[in-house]
Amino acid sequence: MRDMNRQITIGVAWNLASLLLSRGSSTIFTLFLARLLVPEAFGLIAMMMIVMELAQHLVASGLGQALIRSKQVSDEDLSTIFYANLGLSILAYVALYAAAPLLADFYRQPELVNLLRVMGLIVFLNAMKVVPTAILSRQMNFRSQMMANTIAVLLSGIVAITLAWQGAGVWSLVVQSIVSSGIAALIIWFTSAWLPRLIFSIESFHRLFGFGVHLLAEGVMHILLQNAHVIAIGRLFSAEVTGLYFFANKVSSLVSKQLTGAVQSVTFPAMASLQDDNTALRHKYRQIIQVMMFIIAPVMALLAALAEPLFSVLLGDNWEGAVVYMQLLCIVATLYPLHSVNINILNVKGRSDLVLKIGLFKNATSLLLLFSAVPYGVFWIVVGQVVNSFLSLIPNTYFTVRLIDYGVKQQVLDIFKPVLAASIAGVSAYLVIQVIAWPEFALLPLSVGVGMAIFLLFSIAFDVEAIKLLMPKIRSLL
């Protein structure tokens, strides 16, 4: 158990380093690009995201997770999944190519045809790295993945800013995505030191796809749900409004989703080895939730509190309309780790069928709220997302309590203290902005410093468990 704790700690450390370097760099590049581009450019990218994500999810098909979860994996399994992914990527790109004119007609944006057909090349690139990434994850080798992602983000960001500066517009964002995926795939491929053999096993495919098929179906529904708001906004409103919403959602979810993903990718293979020990699983997942919320809650609280001066200083007047959307979406981002961890528990227990059932319920609720809010405008559409995020905790925790006796009541108690401390910190940072008459560029670092100091003080006063969990691990790494 001690070796596993150390493996998880080191893995999380490398993934957090990846988060800080690659995602931190990505955020900086995104802000630079937002200064150089108009909201319409991001709106066009948003309109393509649903078909791109569906295509990429079809290629993955849950097979990567199936490889990671399996107790034993043969070279025959790896080669089979590689060729399956490659074949699926060809089918996916053909579908993307054919769907491009239909998508352009739906949104009444003719330029989407060429944009989608070029951006679709990402599907091939991502298919190439599914198996090598699974191999590295099984080896708990997250350092190599961190290096690949960081280098890809840095080089693609430089290319994108150069193109945007030269007036390439939305094409700078398209090229950025292709270059990033290509470089990451190339580095991960060589790092894994694995080559496929000329083998394809029907038995291996059926066995692994049997686990992945439920994740595939649930993932398709999740993507449709996740992009339903962009679809509605893009179809009923302008590309500019779509860009404002898309950018707010991208910024608000960046830290939450990427940090959660970083932790989940490390803990999934480790937790899979404990899938038959419910007591150990519950103990580990309680720690995971507490630590993630300790990190994510204050960031989201400060981002919501300081959204207006932050956008004003960094982005300018073009993006003012995105402020209120981001403030609301920060609430959704705060709750995201809870949803993700509960789904992760079901996957570790091999109950991907329950993931599908939960997805059906959540999608139905989300679409009902969306259709109810559409006549009242984008603001109420976003409010509906906040409401759905709370409602989704019910089905997400229903099966978790049955499988490992970790229900919504216990989870809420585990996150209450850090969320309360973060809320107090957010209010304090907002008051600094309102009370002190300094220029915004000077007030921002001051308010952030005050907010973080207050968060740490109240976390200590509330005896937040995450502090006790993190300090020994930090010392062990030094």
Instruction: Report yes or no: 385 and 229 within 8 Å, Cβ to Cβ.
Output: yes
Q: Give residue 422's pLDDT.
A: 93
Please give the average per-residue pLDDT across 209-237, as a whole number.
Answer: 76
Is residue 174 in some structural domain?
A: yes
Is residue 11 in some structural domain?
A: yes
Please give the average per-residue pLDDT across 166-184, as a whole number.
Answer: 91
Query: Do residues 87 and 6 share a domain?
Result: yes
CA distance 77 to 73: 6
Tokens 């098929």 sit at which residue?
Answer: 213
Is residue 232 in some structural domain?
A: no
Q: Give residue 428's pLDDT.
A: 93
CA 4 to mean position of chain CA atoms: 25
Picking from 405, 408, 381, the residue whose alpha carbon sits closest to that of residue 396 is: 408
Q: Give residue 84's pLDDT.
A: 85
Evaluated on CA atoms 455, 456, 461, 462, the torsion sign reads positive
Least confident stretch, 53-67, 80-94, 317-331? 53-67
Query: Do residues 319 and 194 share a domain?
Result: no
Is residue 267 in some structural domain?
A: no
> Which residue type sits at 136?
L
Please give the average per-residue pLDDT across 158-164, as a whole number.
Answer: 92
CA distance 120 to 85: 15
Give the model confidence (pLDDT) of 395-451 as tens digits: 878 777 777 777 778 888 888 899 999 999 999 999 998 888 777 777 888 999 999
Q: Does the pLDDT of residue 328 top 60, yes or no?
A: yes
Most confident of 34-38, 175-179, 359-363: 175-179
Picking from 273, 281, 215, the residue whose alpha carbon sits closest to that of residue 70 is: 273
How deeply is 3 buried, as exposed, middle or buried, from its count of CB atoms within 10 A (0-12, 13-18, 19+)? exposed
Please give the average per-residue pLDDT across 190-204, as a whole number.
Answer: 83
Neighbours of 126 (CB within 10 A): 22
Q: Give residue 338's pLDDT.
A: 83
Q: Give residue 298's pLDDT.
A: 92
Q: Give residue 60's pLDDT.
A: 63
Query: Do residues 214 and 296 share a domain?
Result: no
Instruction: Report yes or no: 262 and 18 within 8 Å, Cβ to Cβ.
Output: yes
* Selected residue with higher pLDDT from 260 and 303: 303
Query: Do residues 99 and 190 share a domain?
Result: yes
Picking from 375, 13, 378, 371, the residue whose alpha carbon sits closest to that of residue 225 is: 371
Q: Give residue 381's pLDDT.
A: 94
Please give the structure tokens belonging to residue 100: 């491009």
CA distance 47 to 44: 5
In three-state form (DSSP H/G/I as H, E/B as E, the rest C), the secondary structure along the chain is CHHHHHHHHHHHHHHHHHHHHHHHHHHHHHHHHHHHCCHHHHHHHHHHHHHHHHHHHHHHCCHHHHHHHCCCCCHHHHHHHHHHHHHHHHHHHHHHHHHHHHHHHHHCCCCHHHHHHHHCCHHHHHHHCHHHHHHHHHCCCHHHHHHHHHHHHHHHHHHHHHHHHCCCCHHHHHHHHHHHHHHHHHHHHHHHCCCCCCCCCHHHHHHHHHHHHHHHHHHHHHHHHHHHHHHHHHHHCCHHHHHHHHHHHHHHHHHHHHHHHHHHHHHHHHHHCCCCCHHHHHHHHHHHHHHHHHHHHHHHHHHHHCHHHHHHHHCCHHHHHHHHHHHHHHHHHHHHHHHHHHHHHHHHCCCHHHHHHHHHHHHHHHHHHHHHHHHHCHHHHHHHHHHHHHHCHHHHHHHHHHHHCCCHHHHHHHHHHHHHHHHHHHHHHHHHHHHCCCCHHHHHHHHHHHHHHHHHHHHHHCCCHHHHHHHHHHHHHC
Query: Do residues 67 and 151 share a domain?
Result: yes
Q: Give residue 47's pLDDT.
A: 87
Is residue 260 in some structural domain?
A: no
> Which residue type sits at 135?
I
How deeply is 283 buried, as exposed, middle or buried, from its count of CB atoms within 10 A (0-12, 13-18, 19+)? middle
Is residue 235 in some structural domain?
A: no
Give the model confidence (pLDDT) of 404-420 as tens digits: 777 778 888 888 899 99
Query: Do residues 217 and 349 share a domain?
Result: no
Is residue 4 in some structural domain?
A: yes
Query: Do residues 139 and 218 share a domain?
Result: yes
Q: Give residue 160's pLDDT.
A: 92
Number of separate domains in the chain: 2
Please give the average per-residue pLDDT across 137-146, as a whole number.
Answer: 74
Please give the structure tokens belonging to residue 226: 């996740």
Q: Give residue 17's pLDDT.
A: 56
Q: Give residue 211's pLDDT.
A: 62
Please give the average per-residue pLDDT across 89-114, as a whole number.
Answer: 90
Least confident stretch, 213-227, 410-424, 448-462? 213-227
Angle between helices 2-18 and 142-165 (to 10 degrees): 10
Rounded to the nearest integer, the mean pLDDT of the chain is 81
- Model confidence at 127, pLDDT cuts 50, 70, 90, reads confident
Q: Does the pLDDT of residue 80 top 90, yes or no?
A: no
Is residue 172 in some structural domain?
A: yes
Give the model confidence (pLDDT) of 353-387 as tens digits: 777 777 778 878 888 999 999 999 999 999 999 99
Query: Do residues 148 and 212 share a domain?
Result: yes
Last residue of a domain, one of 209, 225, 241: 225
Query: Do residues 170 and 306 share a domain?
Result: no
pTM > 0.85: no
CA distance 353 to 239: 37
Give the model confidence (pLDDT) of 255-278 as tens digits: 677 777 666 666 666 666 666 677
Last residue of a domain, one of 225, 252, 287: 225
Residues in the chain, overall count: 478
Instruction: Give the domain extent around 16.
Output: 1-225
Neighbours of 318 (CB within 10 A): 17
Q: Does the pLDDT of residue 391 top 80, yes or no?
A: yes
Query: Do residues 101 and 171 share a domain?
Result: yes
Query: Do residues 419 and 323 share a domain?
Result: yes
Instruction: Report yes or no: 244 and 321 within 8 Å, Cβ to Cβ.
Output: yes
Q: Which residues of 406-428 are buried (b: 16+ CB within 10 A; e: fewer)?
A: bebeebeebbebbbebbbbbbeb
Picking from 293, 392, 404, the residue whose alpha carbon sits closest to that of residue 348 is: 404
Query: Do residues 204 and 301 share a domain?
Result: no
